[in-house]
Amino acid sequence: MKRKYFGTDGIRGRVGKAPMTVDFIMKLGWAAGKALGKSNRGQVVIGKDTRISGYMFESALEAGLAAAGLDVLLLGPMPTPAIAYITQSQRASAGIVISASHNPYHDDGVKFFNADGFKLPDATEFEIESLIEQPLLMVEPKDIGKATRMEDAKGRYIEFCKSSIAFHTSLRGMKLVIDCANGATYHIAPAVFRELGAEVIEVGTSPNGLNINHLVGALHPESMRSHVLENRADMGIAFDGDGDRVMMMDAHGEVKNGDQLLYIIAKARHGRGLLRGGVVGTVMSNLGFEHALQAYDIPFERAVVGDRHVMEKLVHNDWHLGGESSGHIICLDKTTTGDGIIASLQVLEALIGNGQTLDEACVDMNIYPQTMINVPISKHLDLNHSSEVQDALAWVEGELAETGRVLLRPSGTEPLIRVMVEGQDKDQVAQLAASLAQTVSDFAKR
């Protein structure tokens, strides 16, 4: 079945245009309340990032949930993984996050966690979509839900993050640049690292509702780089707007992406006999990451792009560690979803334990050159039905042999075919990608 509203991570769009309108979000709250709280009168946790539309959609969700007979616990601006944690710790029926993650302020979205702090299964999302199409029937007046605010949510989550590393691990003597993207971690992350002993230089901690992700954060490391170099910091740590992804930077201003951070964590755990099973990446994970893990005989499997798919494979394999090169890192032994703060703490704990700097810990992992070309399309294309595309694909794979990878996949959010070629020779990779993309483009124009 194809979803009508839900995408790869909840519902998302431009504010004021369907589906991100006040009337729809109120109906979504009611439908979610009917689907998630039907066993008994329950409580739903709501948190948001710092974009200005969050206030409006918070009120709309609150109204819809109350009309369905559920109580609401409002957390205010909090990272996405904090909502998952507090949902679980409060024994709530569900958690709802109002956020468009790394998107600019004019976008917003809604995503859900179940009572155990995990993303909703497909069946529940389909049920919510089915209820959205039905008339909104309010409960009896005596059964209307109530709303309260959790005043100590910030402190609870800070302590939870600190507890994710060993008690004796201290960051004393470290100078860290912490870039919060003017997003949901702005009042959380600096406190976590300071309380663990680090000297913290703050970037992107002055949200005004409109500047979330604007030239700061995990997608824009330039600001962090200037602060790292200017202050001679040991490293930089940058989060995205809702705090579920992280990028780190060494003292020389070099960014370390999710693949490299996962490698550091996995290698450290493997060395201590603490790595459960192997590591899950995605089809976009760099081949150099896979080869570096193979050198330590660490099993590696690829999932479809999206943290929910990584999670599914982790649960299926009974493994604990996985993520994406974009910086979504899941440590299932620590929490139930991707968490930028907790992932960065796992990296820091590994570095301290091995007496290494960030660049030293990555020195034995080669990042293979990768070229990505987006080919616009005007209609659905089945590339398997094009002999020209398949012949070109086979030729590129033959040219790379065992030293590279090729990936053709439709974008999940835009009318594009993504052509990715990865290998050891940068010039060869670029040439092969351009040739394959041209073949795909020619087929798309027919």
144 with 43, same domain? yes
146 with 183, same domain? no
Distances (CA, A) of 146 to 63, 72, 149, 152, 289: 9, 6, 10, 19, 49
Residue 23 clears pLDDT 70, i.e. is over it: yes
Distance CA 344, CA 362 (A): 15
Average pLDDT, the chain: 95
pLDDT in tens, 152-181: 999 999 999 999 999 999 999 999 999 999
45 with 106, same domain? yes
Cβ contacts of 131 within 8 Å, gap of 6 or more: 30, 31, 34, 35
Residue 1 within any structural domain of the chain: no
33 with 140, same domain? yes
Q: What is the DSSP string of 79-90?
A: -HHHHHHHHHHT
SS3 of residue 270 by DSSP: helix
17 with 80, same domain? yes
**Which of 151, 182, 207 marks a domain boundary?**
151
Residue 412 clears pLDDT 70, i.e. is over it: no
Q: What is the mean pLDDT of residues 91-97?
A: 96
- Residue 422, strand partner residues: 370, 405
Residue 41 clears pLDDT 70, i.e. is over it: no
Residue 6 within any structural domain of the chain: no
Q: How confident is the model at residue 413 (pLDDT cuts 50, 70, 90)?
A: low
Name the residue among 207, 254, 200 with its Cα closest to residue 231: 200
195 with 131, same domain? no
pLDDT value at position 131? 97
Distance CA 66, CA 101 (A): 26
Q: What is the mean pLDDT of residues 392-413?
A: 88
Q: How confident is the model at residue 343 (pLDDT cuts 50, 70, 90)?
A: very high
pTM of the prediction?
Answer: 0.93
Edge-to-edge strands of the sheet including 405-410? 370-376, 416-422, 405-410
Residue 328 clears pLDDT 60, i.e. is over it: yes
Domain containing 385 — which CATH number? 3.30.310.50
Residue 403 clears pLDDT 90, i.e. is over it: no
What is the pairing mode between strands 246-250 and 255-256?
antiparallel
Phi, psi of 78 (to 5 degrees): -150, 150
Residue 5 within any structural domain of the chain: no
**Which of 151, 177, 200 marks a domain boundary?**
151
Number of DSSP helices (H) and strands (E) in the chain, helices first: 14, 18
Expressed as residue numbers, the domain containing 140 is: 11-151
Q: What is the mean pLDDT of residues 188-216?
A: 98
Residue 49 within any structural domain of the chain: yes
Residue 40 clears pLDDT 60, i.e. is over it: no
Edge-to-edge strands of the sheet including 329-331? 300-303, 279-282, 321-323, 329-331
293 with 218, same domain? no
pLDDT value at position 268? 97
Share of the chain above pLDDT 90, in %: 90
Domain containing 50 — which CATH number? 3.40.120.10
pLDDT in tens, 294-320: 999 999 999 998 888 999 999 999 999
Q: Quick check: 331 and 320 in contact, CB under 8 A?
A: yes
Identify the residue with better confidence: 121 or 228. Answer: 228
Cβ contacts of 350 within 8 Å, gap of 6 or more: 264, 265, 267, 268, 269, 361
Q: What is the mean pLDDT of residues 120-132?
A: 94
170 with 288, same domain? no
- Which stretch of DSSP H or E encloses residue 311? helix 307-317
288 with 165, same domain? no
Residue 2 within any structural domain of the chain: no
Residue 17 within any structural domain of the chain: yes
> How many domains does the chain contain in total?
4
Residue 4 within any structural domain of the chain: no
249 with 261, same domain? no
pLDDT in tens, 227-276: 999 999 999 999 999 999 999 999 999 999 999 999 999 999 999 999 99
**Which of 253, 272, 300 marks a domain boundary?**
253
Active-site annotation, residues:
101
- Which stretch of DSSP H or E encloses residue 258? helix 258-271
pLDDT value at position 379? 82
Name the residue among 114, 149, 137 with its Cα closest to residue 68: 137
pLDDT value at position 38? 64
pLDDT value at position 47? 98
Q: Quick check: 373 and 435 in contact, CB under 8 A?
A: no
